[in-house]
């Protein structure tokens, strides 16, 4: 009978159904894992990664991200502009990383560093070891009797196959996506390019490993000694002088040290020679390794006691100093190796030179050909001296420029290229920087800029309309007198950037921007006569010509993490009406001056006190735009015109290469054919030089002409004194503003990043900080608001209940009748 | 059996664990009939009703309501039923009005229809003056009325009432009985009870369940007839101190037709009397009277024992 | 669907007729309010963060819901069973599934009211800054979803017993287990839980909502758990037939 099964059937059917439902649920959820239907409700879609980011995240398989977040971050951290709140920042960071992990669909693994076992160290120590930047809070912590600023980390390292990248300090949530995607894109590029550069990288690594082995051996030997010092009482050998003991130990270990260090010479000569000339970073590494080797050879000599030449300290001290020096040199080698391994795939940035720009390179050729200089001396020993001195100045200029270039750019991993005024921009240069030229750009340079812009290469133009000198050296009128100083100079530069940029709808003004409130100080160096002795003094004055801008386009990657910028002697830059109205263009006022700023035709009185009073008495007309980013379909300034021919360079008879650079008709024909009349481009114009003024031979050694010096004249002496004054004046002008360079350099870094960034990154605009600020509330208001919220809602609930109860009661009564 | 059977119950078996609550219960209820389910507590009345109302499933056997298998079409069957479970469980914190309104809506009636029916039903069961009262505050009798009201609200073909009068005071019982009887005029009604008098008053037909089985099924007259085929008499005879009760019993037992005579008890006031239970297959009252008078004894009492439930059961279980 | 709605309406009315709604509601509001302003341990001052956000509400509210909601669901079926009203209920022309759904929906009604009461917090933040409205909406959608899931688990616990206290304790344990323990358990078993399993955790599923993102997967997950709990409750209700 069917009915007899009733009981068991119901139960079994129910269980089967339930099991099936679980199965279906698991299946549906499993199938859904790979879907990516996400609805981001936040106003600016802060949690939605852009197409570019998702693509970047998916393009890499197996990325491991090690995240370092201090257990408890401080409430605020100090910055020059005051405390910056950090609350919720770790959450924003985690959120964003999780977003990437989701987008990558399991190919991106997040590993959170934890306060580990004793051997591992704190999160902060682990972070530092992974090359993260630490920062400290506003509040010091008292431990015992010492004040300590707790260190914190918030960042991550990204590893992909053989390469890795670091996000050292993640304090601007609005730019997490920009930064992380940049890193992911970099990882891919770096890995791919490093596959093409395997050999140089291997050579670099071989050299680095060799140096490292040697340094470790040396430091080990030097340290063993220190350890032994502690039980010095037991040791009777070698006396009590630690240096002597070190020497003894080194001598004892000499064979081992030699074994570890001897290969370096071979490496430098072998791998080094092969590596050299491939790129700047390789050169840098080889040079540093050679330095190291030299120091090692010295140490070896000192250890073996051969070296005690006259005038040198005794070997024991020598060894100690050399060991220290070796360690320092090793760090240089380490850094150079880092930048080399970091270099694959880095795009080269071209610096236009030849118009008294900031051009961080040594000149291509010496001021005076040595053979020519030698000939000069035969006729006129006085002239020989002058020319040699000029050559020395020139060399100092070259060295300064090269050093700036190394420190600001190469060491930070940027690949920079010099672009001469008459040089076509090579294809491998991905971006062009025109850094504050003080002379007009020629037709050919303008044409190059034009075509680079239309080809989509980011073009960055920094302007310097004024040269301000509070202290200026002048060559004396009469020979034999002291150099004159005066207080007077605010001189217009001779650039023609305003004219150049007009073609692209950008109106660069030459009027200086002054500010009455938001200003930085200018540093005045002077000589004070006290009791017959001269002292050099430094004094800082708030200076209206150095406005501090804090109004930034927070959505723009350039100004990320910038809290304020001091822009010495800036002018303003505005889009033309047509450009502003043209919807095809994206125009961003990246930096603006404050409302207390003032635009006024220059020059103005430059003495700080006078200027200050004047500015206070004049009504402001700010804000003014100080930096402008424009992207869109630009039209060529050369459309419908004959394009300029490449000028013939002054042919250097000694340099056979320059002959090959002679312009040819065929080249011109090709250029004509390649001409673009229109193209999408990105242009960034900054109306200040950020306080970095170019140092150029043609500026300092103005009027240097070998021909003039064929005959001796008082003028040549005067000219020579003036050159010296020029060089000093440059130093003084830089000194006036050098104290405010720090943040400006960060901004410069951002500019270079922006200019060399992957195309995809341009699409990633900051969505702003996901954290929104709260109004300022006094504690009483806080208290009352809190109370209202805490008591209000339960009270409301209970009140509603009472009302409901009364209503029900009334209705029920009415029903009973 | 007949096509007029509104409810057919066939071979219901229900086991709870290894305890059998029902052992093959079968009966019919015809349309428009008031059927009484009779039996002592624990006999299986409630279980049967729970299966009838599809609250529970039978282990085996079937219930057919209006031609539909109840296990297969529980919703259709429920829609036809009004049910008052044992001890009238109600949402005690609801007002009568709200409760009835909700029941009506749950039955799929439109709000306006429910209100109309509520007014009618309230009048019928006498709830008009407590409609706004919270159920928990009502007396037992009113609660019972609310239970009845919810059961008949949707004017169902079939009403199933589980012990509708239990726990009520006598006045309430009479009211409810009258109410049920009037309901029976146009509903098929099954009620359970352990009170024969109640059943006698209300029901057309009675099914007696004992230990999970039907022991009798018929009209009250039929049943009484069956029970009446054996006669129980109570006889009271005046005694004197020297008389032996056993001698008297023997004397009575010699009455022609007496099957079994047993001494029940004696009493002293107002006169010493001995009472005996007498069973016989025929009516032997005349013979008994003659016999006692013949023995020169005084007959003080001679009456038929009343047909209470215990009696019927006793006799039914003995006769089966 | 209509009976479900009628049932739900009665349940909601019953909830708000009984003091439990006001006790649970007040506890919920006070607890979330305190956590919102002072954080866990009372050291995390909301105003000190100087951030116009309602995020702390979304961080803490699920914890409170996991405790409060089982108290709301505990009576739903346990009480019907104990009072015998279940017999009348299930002999109405409704299916067991409809009954469970109606009960759940009624409890969701309470959840909606309770959540609506917390709107004072966004209102407060709105008065002192410009919070991200979208993020707040997302958070509330999440709370509604996770709350419904908690309620479904509570209803399930309530179908298993006649004793309200037992129903509450079992419901609480279920909610807490899914909210906190899945993570911990997975971590016990795996060093790095496989992503598919890590998704079992309510917390990781809820994280998206808290920041204003609605992910289909999380929605599906919560709906799946709710559905399974509802089916299991229906099964438990049906089990009277074969007991």
Residues A281-319 pLDDT 10s: 888 889 889 989 998 888 888 887 665 555 566 777 778
pLDDT of residue A768: 57
pLDDT of residue A72: 78
Answer yes or no: do A127 and A60 share one domain. Answer: yes
The average confidence (pLDDT) of chain A is: 83
Residue A72, in any domain of the structure: yes
Answer yes or no: do A179 and A211 share one domain. Answer: no
End-to-end alpha-carbon separation of chain C, Å?
A: 29
Domain extent for C210: 2-242
Least confident of A96-100, A120-124, A713-717, C112-116: A713-717
- The total number of structural domains that make up chain C: 1
Q: Which residues of B touch C81 (CB under 8 A)?
A: none
Q: A touches which chains (3+ CB pairs under 8 A)?
A: B, C
pLDDT at B320 over 50: no
SS3 A139: coil
Residue A182, in any domain of the structure: yes
pLDDT of residue C70: 96
Q: B touches which chains (3+ CB pairs under 8 A)?
A: A, C
Res. A762 pLDDT band, cuts 50 70 90: low
pLDDT at A1 over 60: no
- The total number of structural domains that make up chain A: 4
Does A11 contact C239 at a Cβ distance shorter than 8 Å? yes
Segment (H or E) for A588: strand A586-592
Query: Model ipTM?
Result: 0.89
Answer yes or no: do A756 and A786 share one domain. Answer: no
Residue A481 has a CB neighbour count (10 Å cut-off) of 10
Last residue within a domain, chosen from A131, A165, A196: A196
What is the distance between the alpha carbons of residues C89 and B102, in angstroms, rounded to a whole number?
Answer: 11
Q: Which residues of C touch A770 (CB under 8 A)?
A: 132, 211
Res. A461 pLDDT band, cuts 50 70 90: very high
Residue A83, in any domain of the structure: yes
pLDDT at A3 over 50: no
Q: Which of B295, B193, B212 is nearest to B249 (CA)?
A: B295
Q: Which residues of A touch B133 (CB under 8 A)?
A: 812, 816
- Residue A222: CB partners within 8 Å, gap ≥ 6? A246, A249, A250, A320, A323
Does A25 contact C33 at a Cβ distance shorter than 8 Å? no
What is the distance between the alpha carbons of residues A698 and A727, in angstroms, rounded to a whole number?
Answer: 11
pLDDT digits (tens, 9 = 90+) for A379-415: 677 777 788 888 888 988 998 998 888 888 877 778 8
For the residues A152-157, what does the mean pLDDT come to? 93
pLDDT of residue A581: 93
Answer yes or no: do A427 and A570 share one domain. Answer: yes
Does A772 contact C29 at a Cβ distance shorter than 8 Å? no
pLDDT of residue A631: 92
pLDDT exceeding 90 applies to what percent of chain B?
A: 27
pTM of the entire structure? 0.68
Last residue within a domain, chosen from A196, A213, A230: A196
C93 touches chain B (CB under 8 A): yes
Res. B316 pLDDT band, cuts 50 70 90: low
Least confident of A128-137, A379-388, A630-639: A379-388
Q: When comparing pLDDT for A789 and A719, which is higher? A: A789
pLDDT exceeding 70 applies to what percent of chain A?
A: 86
Residue A728, in any domain of the structure: yes
Contact A314, A241 (CB under 8 A): no
Q: Which of B95, B201, B85, B188 is nearest to B144 (CA)?
A: B85
Answer yes or no: do A192 and A218 share one domain. Answer: no
pLDDT at A599 over 90: yes
For the residues A478-495, what does the mean pLDDT come to? 76
Least confident of A150-164, A537-551, C103-117: A537-551
pLDDT of residue A649: 64
What is the distance between the alpha carbons of residues C182 and C189, in angstroms, rounded to a whole number?
Answer: 11
Which of C113, C115, C126, C135 to probe the A interface (max A CBs under 10 A)? C135
Domain extent for A808: 782-817
Which of A90, A104, A774, A799 to probe the C interface (max C CBs under 10 A)? A774
Last residue within a domain, chosen from A161, A196, A231: A196
A813 touches chain B (CB under 8 A): yes
pLDDT at B216 over 90: no
pLDDT digits (tens, 9 = 90+) for A661-679: 677 888 888 888 889 999 9
Answer yes or no: do A647 and A529 share one domain. Answer: yes
- DSSP 8-state code for residue A738: G
pLDDT at A654 over 60: no
Answer yes or no: do A441 and A499 share one domain. Answer: yes
pLDDT of residue A235: 44
C191 touches chain B (CB under 8 A): no
What is the distance between the alpha carbons of residues A395 and A695, in angstroms, rounded to a whole number?
Answer: 12
What is the distance between the alpha carbons of residues C186 and C189, in angstroms, rounded to a whole number?
Answer: 5
Contact A633, A678 (CB under 8 A): yes
pLDDT of residue A233: 44
Nearest CA in chain B to C79: B91
pLDDT digits (tens, 9 = 90+) for C127-174: 988 888 998 999 999 999 999 999 999 999 999 999 999 999 999 999
What is the distance between the alpha carbons of residues C172 and C166, in angstroms, rounded to a whole number?
Answer: 10
For the residues A353-378, what does the mean pLDDT come to? 80
Does B83 contact C94 at a Cβ distance shorter than 8 Å? no
Q: When comparing pLDDT for C183 and B211, which is higher? A: B211
Residue A39, in any domain of the structure: no
Answer yes or no: do A453 and A567 share one domain. Answer: yes
pLDDT at C6 over 60: yes
Answer yes or no: do A114 and A210 share one domain. Answer: no
Answer yes or no: do A267 and A386 share one domain. Answer: no
For the residues C71-85, what does the mean pLDDT come to? 93
Whichever domain contains A215, its CATH number is 1.20.1420
pLDDT at A8 over 70: no
Phi/psi-derived region of residue A88, left when phi > 0, alpha when psi is between -120 and 50, beta in every other case:
left
pLDDT at A91 over 70: yes
pLDDT of residue C9: 94
Residue B221 Cα, gap to closest chain C Cα (Å): 34
What is the distance between the alpha carbons of residues A702 and A260, in angstroms, rounded to a whole number?
Answer: 53
Least confident of A265-274, A524-533, A717-726, B241-250: A524-533
Strand duo B205-210 + B213-219: pairing: antiparallel
For the residues A61-66, what does the mean pLDDT come to? 91
CB-based burial, A506-534: b 16+ in 10 Å, e otherwise: bbbbbbbbbbbebbbbbbbeeeeeeeeee
pLDDT at C176 over 80: yes
Res. A769 pLDDT band, cuts 50 70 90: low
pLDDT digits (tens, 9 = 90+) for A411-447: 777 888 899 888 889 888 889 999 999 999 999 999 9
Residue A177, in any domain of the structure: yes
Q: Which residues of C touch B57 (CB under 8 A)?
A: 241-242
Answer yes or no: do A221 and A284 share one domain. Answer: yes
pLDDT at A568 over 50: yes
pLDDT exceeding 90 applies to what percent of chain A?
A: 25
For the residues A95-113, what does the mean pLDDT come to? 86
Residue A654, in any domain of the structure: yes
B137 touches chain A (CB under 8 A): no
- Residue B226: CB partners within 8 Å, gap ≥ 6? B216, B218, B316, B319
pLDDT at A487 over 90: no
pLDDT digits (tens, 9 = 90+) for C193-215: 665 666 677 887 888 888 888 98
pLDDT of residue C196: 62
pLDDT of residue A353: 92
Q: When comparing pLDDT for B291 and A1, which is higher? A: B291
Q: Which residues of B touch C3 (CB under 8 A)?
A: 106, 108
SS3 A761: helix
Opening angle at CA A404, ends A400 and A406, nearest 5: 115
**Sheet (strand A415-419) strand order:** A415-419, A348-352, A429-435, A459-462, A678-686, A625-635, A586-592, A551-552
Please name the residues between 26 and 55 in chain B that touch chain C, using a CB distance below 8 Å: 50, 53-55
pLDDT at C43 over 50: yes
Q: When comparing pLDDT for B8 and B262, which is higher? A: B8
SS3 A397: helix
Q: When comparing pLDDT for A622 and C120, which is higher? A: C120
How deeply is A681 buried, as exposed, middle or buried, from its count of CB atoms within 10 A (0-12, 13-18, 19+)? buried
pLDDT digits (tens, 9 = 90+) for B194-210: 777 788 788 888 888 88
Does A88 contact C213 at a Cβ distance shorter than 8 Å? no
């Amino acid at each position: 009978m069917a009915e007899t099964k009733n009981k068991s059937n119901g139960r079994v059917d129910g269980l089967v159904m339930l099991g099936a439902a679980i199965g279906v649920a698991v299946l549906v959820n499993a199938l859904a894992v790979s879907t990516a239907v996400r609805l981001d409700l936040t106003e600016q879609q802060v949690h939605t990664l852009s197409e570019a980011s998702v693509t970047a995240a998916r393009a890499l398989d197996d990325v491991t991200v090690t995240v370092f977040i201090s257990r408890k971050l401080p409430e605020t951290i100090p910055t020059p502009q005051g405390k910056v709140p950090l609350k919720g920042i770790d959450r924003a960071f985690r959120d964003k990383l999780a977003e990437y992990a989701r987008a990558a669909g399991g190919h991106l693994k997040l590993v959170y560093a934890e306060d580990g076992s004793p051997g591992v160290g704190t999160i902060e120590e682990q972070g530092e070891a992974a090359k993260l930047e630490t920062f400290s809070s506003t509040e010091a912590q008292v431990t015992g009797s010492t004040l300590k600023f707790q260190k914190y980390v918030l960042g991550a390292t990204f590893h992909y196959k053989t390469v890795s990248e670091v996000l050292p300090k993640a304090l601007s949530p609005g730019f997490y996506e920009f930064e992380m995607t940049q890193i992911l894109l970099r990882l891919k590029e770096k890995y791919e390019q490093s596959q093409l550069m395997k050999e140089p990288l291997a050579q670099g690594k071989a050299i680095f490993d060799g140096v490292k082995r040697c340094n470790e051996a040396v430091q080990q030997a030097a340290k063993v000694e220190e350890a032994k010092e502690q039980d010095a009482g037991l040791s009777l050998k070698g006396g009590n002088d630690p240096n002597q003991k070190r020497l003894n130990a080194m001598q004892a270990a000499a064979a081992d040290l030699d074994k570890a260090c001897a290969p370096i010479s071979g490496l430098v000569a072998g791998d080094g020679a092969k590596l050299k000339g491939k790129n700047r970073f390789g050169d840098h590494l080889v040079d540093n390794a050679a330095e190291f080797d030299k120091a090692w050879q010295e140490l070896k000599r000192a250890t073996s006691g051969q070296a005690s030449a006259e005038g040198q300290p005794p070997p024991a001290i020598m060894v100690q100093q050399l060991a220290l020096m070796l360690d320092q040199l090793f760090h240089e080698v380490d850094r150079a190796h880092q930048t080399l391994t970091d270099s694959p795939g880095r795009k080269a940035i071209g610096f236009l030179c030849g118009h008294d720009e900031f051009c961080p390179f040594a000149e291509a050729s010496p001021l005076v050909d040595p053979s020519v200089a030698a000939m000069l001396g035969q006729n006129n020993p006085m002239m020989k001296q002058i020319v040699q001195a000029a050559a020395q100045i020139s060399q100092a200029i070259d060295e300064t420029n090269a050093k700036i270039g190394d420190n600001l750019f190469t060491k930070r991993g940027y690949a920079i290229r010099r672009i001469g005024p008459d040089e076509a921009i090579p294809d491998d240069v991905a971006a062009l920087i025109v850094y504050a030229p003080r002379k007009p750009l020629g037709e050919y340079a303008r044409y190059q800029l034009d075509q680079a812009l239309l080809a989509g290469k980011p073009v960055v133009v920094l302007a310097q309309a004024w040269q301000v000198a509070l202290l200026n050296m002048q060559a004396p009128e009469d020979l034999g007198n002291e150099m004159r100083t005066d207080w007077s100079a605010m001189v217009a530069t001779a650039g023609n950037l305003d004219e150049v940029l007009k073609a692209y709808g950008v109106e660069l003004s030459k009027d200086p921007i002054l500010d009455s409130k938001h200003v930085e100080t200018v540093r005045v160096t002077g000589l004070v006569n006290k009791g017959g002795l001269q002292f050099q003094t430094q004094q800082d004055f708030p200076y209206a010509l150095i406005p501090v801008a804090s109004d930034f386009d927070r959505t723009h990657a350039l100004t990320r993490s910038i809290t304020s910028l001091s822009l010495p002697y800036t002018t303003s830059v505005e889009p033309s009406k047509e450009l502003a109205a043209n919807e095809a263009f994206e125009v961003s006022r990246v930096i603006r001056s404050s409302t207390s700023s003032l635009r006024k035709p220059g020059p103005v009185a430059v003495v700080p006190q006078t200027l200050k009073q004047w500015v206070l008495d004049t009504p402001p007309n700010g804000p003014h735009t100080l930096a402008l980013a424009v992207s869109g379909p630009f039209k060529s300034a050369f459309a419908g015109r004959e394009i300029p021919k490449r000028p013939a360079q002054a042919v250097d008879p000694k340099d056979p290469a320059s002959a090959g650079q002679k312009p040819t008709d065929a080249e011109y024909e090709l250029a004509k054919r390649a001409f673009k009349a229109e193209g999408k481009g990105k242009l960034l114009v900054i109306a200040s030089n950020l306080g970095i003024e170019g140092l150029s031979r043609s500026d300092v050694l103005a009027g240097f002409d070998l021909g003039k010096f064929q005959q001796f004249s008082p003028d040549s002496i005067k000219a020579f004194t003036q050159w010296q004054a020029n060089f000093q004046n440059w130093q003084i002008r830089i000194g006036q503003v050098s104290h405010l360079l720090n943040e400006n350099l960060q901004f410069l870094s951002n500019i270079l990043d922006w200019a060399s960034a992957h195309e995809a990154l341009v699409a990633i605009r900051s969505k702003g900080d996901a954290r929104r600020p709260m109004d300022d509330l006094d504690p009483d208001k806080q208290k009352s608001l809190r109370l209202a919220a805490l008591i209000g809602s339960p009270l409301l609930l209970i009140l509603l209940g009472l009302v409901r109860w009364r209503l029900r009661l009334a209705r029920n009564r009415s029903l009973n009748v | 059996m007949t096509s007029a059977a509104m409810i057919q119950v066939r071979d219901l078996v229900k086991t709870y664990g290894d305890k059998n609550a029902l052992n093959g219960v079968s009966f019919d209820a015809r349309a428009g009939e008031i059927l009484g389910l009779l039996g002592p507590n624990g006999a299986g009345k409630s279980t049967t009703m729970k299966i009838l109302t599809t609250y529970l499933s039978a282990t085996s056997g079937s219930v057919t309501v209006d031609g539909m298998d109840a296990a297969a079409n529980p919703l259709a069957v429920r829609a036809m039923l009004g049910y008052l479970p044992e001890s009238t469980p109600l949402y005690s914190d609801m007002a009568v009005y709200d409760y009835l309104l909700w029941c009506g809506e749950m039955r799929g009636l439109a709000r306006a229809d429910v209100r109309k029916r509520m007014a009618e039903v309230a009048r019928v069961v006498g709830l008009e003056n407590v409609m706004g009262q919270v159920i928990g505050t009502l007396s037992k009798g009113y609660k019972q009325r609310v239970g009845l009201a919810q059961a008949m609200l949707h004017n169902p073909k079939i009403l199933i009432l589980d012990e509708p009068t239990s726990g009520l005071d006598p006045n309430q019982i009479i009211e409810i009985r009258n109410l049920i009887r009037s309901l029976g005029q146009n509903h098929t009604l099954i009620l359970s009870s352990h009170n024969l008098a109640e059943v006698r008053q209300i029901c057309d037909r009675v099914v007696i369940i004992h230990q999970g089985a039907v022991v009798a099924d018929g009209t009250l007259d039929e049943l009484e007839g069956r029970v009446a085929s054996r006669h129980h008499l109570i006889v009271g005879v005046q005694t004197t101190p020297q008389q032996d009760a056993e001698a008297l019993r023997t004397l009575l037992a010699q009455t022609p037709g007496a099957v079994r005579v047993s001494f029940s008890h004696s009493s002293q006031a107002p006169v010493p009397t001995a009472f005996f239970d007498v069973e016989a297959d025929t009516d032997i009252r005349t013979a008994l009277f003659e016999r006692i008078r013949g023995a020169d004894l005084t007959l003080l009492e001679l009456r038929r024992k009343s047909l209470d439930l215990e009696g019927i059961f006793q006799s039914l279980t003995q006769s089966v | 669907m209509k009976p479900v709605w009628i049932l739900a309406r009665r349940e909601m009315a019953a909830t708000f007729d009984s003091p439990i709604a006001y006790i649970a509601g007040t506890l919920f509001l006070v607890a979330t309010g305190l956590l919102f302003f002072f954080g866990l341990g009372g050291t995390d001052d909301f105003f000190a963060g100087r951030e116009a956000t309602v995020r702390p509400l979304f961080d803490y509210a699920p914890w409170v819901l996991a405790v409060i909601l089982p108290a709301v669901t505990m009576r739903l079926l346990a009480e019907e069973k104990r009072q015998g009203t279940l017999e009348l209920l299930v002999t109405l022309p409704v299916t067991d599934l409809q009954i469970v759904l109606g009960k759940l929906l009624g409890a969701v009604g309470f959840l909606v009211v309770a959540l609506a009461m917390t709107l004072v917090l966004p209102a407060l933040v709105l008065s002192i800054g410009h919070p991200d409205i979208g993020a707040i909406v997302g958070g509330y959608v999440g709370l509604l979803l996770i709350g419904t899931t908690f309620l479904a688990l509570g209803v399930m616990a309530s179908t298993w017993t006649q004793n309200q206290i037992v129903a509450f304790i079992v419901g609480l344990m279920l909610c807490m287990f899914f909210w906190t323990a899945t993570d911990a358990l997975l971590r016990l078993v795996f060093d790095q839980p496989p992503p598919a399993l890590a998704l079992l955790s309510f917390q990781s599923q809820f994280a998206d909502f808290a920041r204003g993102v609605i992910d289909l997967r999380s929605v599906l997950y919560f709906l799946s758990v709710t559905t399974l709990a509802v089916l299991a409750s229906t099964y438990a209700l049906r089990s009277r037939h074969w007991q």
